[in-house]
Structure 1
């Protein structure tokens, strides 16, 4: 029987951490677990057996705090990862790169010589093919992605640690997109943003989406958090060294569209990336060009090494894991830790009544303009009332933009879009539908800007 282990887990309250904790509870019930994260969970049975140590890895005192927490630890499982705010590269570097150096410094200071590190699919260079690549594939990453660049730097830190500590056991597992029901909060924030209506997500869950545009040649792999947790436990028990790809089966365009019952529409990858760039700059979508590149340009991974050396294989297919995520997205699922969306009763919606009226009337305006597109009729009383209500509700925000002297794309284009939408509404037809849709895109961009600003204020 294995001796009682003392295991320190950074990022234990997150998505991957949940899977690791569940598998440790199942396979290593006697292990002493020390959880390190910025905001320790305050409830949830998953976290009750964990001794929590609050540490902000981006802080100057991270190494000292980790050193105190690592006394008598047998193995460190380093899962901690900051992905928000996506456009704050300085903070992400401090949390992910400098934070990892703090972990290694604390290990050296306390004599801990066993590390299991959560690397990523993003470490790999594009392959230009759907042929699965092994762990020996080029690890130059995706130059356009902050996340990928930082992962490449961190693996370099691990290389140096192994050179200077030849007796150290260092394992790196490289998972693809890790999902589960409670990953919905993280995935939505990173890829979708808060403005995708629940009704749309319900359509995805019920597999009623008619068509889905996807980059031609796309292939994605998913892996369930519990399957990742099983791989981590195997790495610990076998004291394995080296790198291991962790993923389930690949899904190509038709299978990806089939997840939501859609017919795939194959789109030129370059054109779709340009659309993502534009929509992200307008704050319509959350996904950055870098995250888009990691998702669409990274190679399919060969998991033969993990199967042969660890005896690991995923219990859930990519389809099973993705469907569970979609269910979570449609239901607004959150976990019981702050990292997975728990708020401990704090309000999550700071939208004012006036803003709600503006959003509702803007949606109605777009829908009515689209419905009237084929019929060139003068607007009726209901249509006119919706437009008037939207203009009135939007006036305070417009005045704020003027007072703040904003010169961002939304502030510059909004007055022009409003004027064009009002003028074309008088005649109807497709121009009216197009200008209303453009106004809707700007409305989404403004709401995303406000939400991001509110989140930043809340975190100060």
Structure 2
């Protein structure tokens, strides 16, 4: 029987951390667990057995605080990762690169001889092929992604540390997109943003989306957080050196669209990326071009090494893990830690009833226009009622934009888009669906602008 271990986990309150803690509690029930994060959880069963040490890895005193926390520790599991704010590269570098160096320096000072590090699929260069790549594939990353560039730098730090400390074992696992129900908060913040209405996510859950545009040749792998946790425990127990790909099966176009009941529509990847760039600049979606590139250009990973050397097998398929995430997104699921969206009673978004009616009716307008175009139906009374509700509920905001003499793209284009959507809607068809979609994009951009303004006003 293994002797009692003392294990320190950075980023223990996050998405991957939740899966790792669950597996440690299941497979190592007698271990002493030390959790490191900026905002320790105050509730949640998986966090009760953890001794928490609040440490900000981007802070100048991180090495000192970590050294104290690592006294008597047998293994460090380094999961901590900052992904927000996505456009603050200086902070992300301090937290992820300088923070990792602080972890390594503290390990050397405290005499810890084993590190399990959460690397990433993003470390790999694009392959241009659907053939899965092994751990020996180029680790030059994706130059357009801050996240990828920082992961590449960190792997270089680990290489140097291994050369300088040959008696230290470094186990690196490279997971694909890690999901679970409670990852919904993190995934939504990183890829969707707060303004995509829950009703739209409910459409995904009900598998009622008619069409799903996808970059031609796209293939994605998912992996459940608990399967990642199992891999981490295996790496820890076996003190396995080197890198290991961690992922479930690959989903291609039809299977990806099937997750939401849609028919895939192949789109030129260059056009899709241009759309992401434009929508991000308009603040319609949260995903940056860099994160889009990591999601769509990274190669499919071969997991043979983890299966053969660790005996690891994912208990959940990519489809099962992704469906759990979709359920969480539709439910607005959060975990019990701040990193997973736990709230301490923060105020709501502050929208008025008219604004809520406007957002809901706009969503219905877009969905009904697209559905009617696909089925080649002329608009009916229900469609007209939805359009009327949207126009009435949106009038106060439109008048306010006029009063403020706004000249931003939304203020200028919104009246034209409304007129075009109403006129084309009289006859239906794909022109109606297209103009309604443009109106929807402008509506999301306006809501995001309003939300960011409110947040700016309440910041200390």
- Tell me the TM-score normalised to structure 1 length: 0.90
Give the corresponding residue for 2:86. Answer: 86
- The answer to whether the Cα contact below 8 Å between 2:401 and 2:411 also exists between their aligned partners in 1 is no
- The answer to whether the Cα contact below 8 Å between 1:357 and 1:393 also exists between their aligned partners in 2 is no
Give the corresponding residue for 1:117. Answer: 117
1:443 Cα shift?
A: 2.2
Inter-partner Cα distance in structure 2 for 1:304 and 1:366: 45
Residue 412 (structure 2) pairs with residue 412 (structure 1): no
1:278 Cα shift?
A: 1.1
Residues 12-161 of structure 1 mapped to structure 2, 5 A cutoff: 12-161=12-161
Residue 316 (structure 2) pairs with residue 316 (structure 1): yes
1:258 Cα shift?
A: 1.4
1:115 Cα shift?
A: 0.5
- The answer to whether the Cα contact below 8 Å between 2:420 and 2:435 also exists between their aligned partners in 1 is no
Q: SS at 2:135's partner residue?
A: coil
Residues 3-402 of structure 1 mapped to structure 2, 5 A cutoff: 3-353=3-353, 355-356=355-356, 358-360=358-360, 362-363=362-363, 386-396=390-400, 399=403, 402=406
- Structure 2 CA distance for partners of 1:40 and 1:300, relative to 1, 3 Å: same
- Structure 2 CA distance for partners of 1:151 and 1:458, relative to 1, 3 Å: farther
Inter-partner Cα distance in structure 2 for 1:459 and 1:299: 40
User: Cα deviation per residue 1:125-173 (whole Å; 9 max; x = unaligned)?
Assistant: 0000011111010000011111100100110111111111111110110
Unmatched 5+ residue regions in structure 2?
A: none
Inter-partner Cα distance in structure 1 for 2:84 and 2:439: 28
Inter-partner Cα distance in structure 1 for 2:150 and 2:191: 19
Q: SS at 1:139's partner residue?
A: coil
- The answer to whether the Cα contact below 8 Å between 1:120 and 1:176 also exists between their aligned partners in 2 is yes
1:398 Cα shift?
A: 5.6
Inter-partner Cα distance in structure 2 for 1:304 and 1:399: 63
- Alignment RMSD, CA only? 2.8
- Structure 2 CA distance for partners of 1:172 and 1:364, relative to 1, 3 Å: closer
Between 1:320-329 and 1:219-228, the stretch displaced more is 320-329
Inter-partner Cα distance in structure 1 for 2:75 and 2:157: 18
User: Cα deviation per residue 1:277-321 (whole Å; 9 max; x = unaligned)?
Assistant: 111111111211111111111011111111111111111111111
Inter-partner Cα distance in structure 1 for 2:219 and 2:364: 37
- The answer to whether the Cα contact below 8 Å between 1:368 and 1:383 also exists between their aligned partners in 2 is no
1:429 Cα shift?
A: 5.2
Inter-partner Cα distance in structure 1 for 2:269 and 2:198: 28
1:357 Cα shift?
A: 5.2
Q: SS at 1:39's partner residue?
A: coil
Inter-partner Cα distance in structure 2 for 1:283 and 1:138: 33
- Structure 2 CA distance for partners of 1:382 and 1:456, relative to 1, 3 Å: closer
User: Cα deviation per residue 1:93-148 (whole Å; 9 max; x = unaligned)?
Assistant: 11111111111111111111211000000000000001111101000001111110
1:342 Cα shift?
A: 0.7
Unmatched 5+ residue regions in structure 1?
A: none
Matched residue pairs, number? 452
1:399 Cα shift?
A: 4.8
1:86 Cα shift?
A: 1.2
1:416 Cα shift?
A: 3.8
Inter-partner Cα distance in structure 1 for 2:24 and 2:385: 63
Q: SS at 1:64's partner residue?
A: helix
- Structure 2 CA distance for partners of 1:204 and 1:277, relative to 1, 3 Å: same
Q: SS at 2:53's partner residue?
A: strand
Q: SS at 2:315's partner residue?
A: coil
User: Cα deviation per residue 1:323-355 (whole Å; 9 max; x = unaligned)?
Assistant: 111111111111111111110332343334564
1:9 Cα shift?
A: 0.3
